[in-house]
Structure 1
Amino acid sequence: MSTTAPHRSLTTALALDAVLVIVFAAIGRSSHEEGLTVLGVAETAGPFLIGLALGWTIARAASLDPLGRTGGPVVWVATVAGGMVVRQLVGEGTAFSFIVVASIVLGVFLLGSRFAAGLLARRAAARG
């Protein structure tokens, strides 16, 4: 295995996390009939993408695997909390119900994708 494989894997995982945050934003905009323009989705996703970057940075700085059992929750919580802080700073809403929904959906997306990847990796290893 080359030395770039782990880096490529983390880069791919970070990109997948970003896509999941963008999907979250698109679903939210669609459910509130706000329109699915590129600019609109970017505006909604932006604060959470900043939170996601913060979460990955915190996990890596703490020597936690951002894809692991301890680092994954750090990424999730920082994505939600950071996103809400940025939304407050730019004058966007952070109603309690939105915080709850964002926490649940992003938790399912970010932690669920890690669980699924781990399950697939264990099955592949078991097959030999």
Structure 2
Amino acid sequence: MITGIGLDIVEMSRIRRLDIKSPKFRARILTDYEQTEYDQLTETRKIEFLAGRFAAKEAYSKAKGTGIGSECSFQDIEVRKDDKGKPTIYFRGTETGLVSITHSKEFAAAQVLLQTT
């Protein structure tokens, strides 16, 4: 049964400005695991990755119905890829939902589906 669905879109230029303005922004958004993956990317790909993870985490918090806050922080949510590159979303270390992330030159977007088995 589907228990939640969330969607978020973000402007790449906004994420780029926030990242340049404050290194704390990236540390607030990315978990240690995600930061390691981020560090291995090209400069162009880094903003796409950061914007995609931001959108995925916002979408997850919408699907969960909490928004980002004390019940659900950016650090509680992590996106990991499987061997084929398919992303999966984890909440506090437990796989919890399906996620799709996309981006264009100007935008990154993500959709999250939460379901019970």
* Interval of TM-score (by shorter of Structure 1 and Structure 2): 0.3 to 0.5
Task: Please give the TM-score of this superposition, normalised by the length of structure 1.
Answer: 0.32
Of structures 1 and 2, the one scoring higher in RCO (CA 8 A, sep 6+) is 2
Q: Which structure shows the higher strand fraction? A: 2
Task: Please give the TM-score of this superposition, normalised by the length of structure 2.
Answer: 0.34
Rg: which structure is higher? 1
Q: Which structure shows the higher helix fraction? A: 1
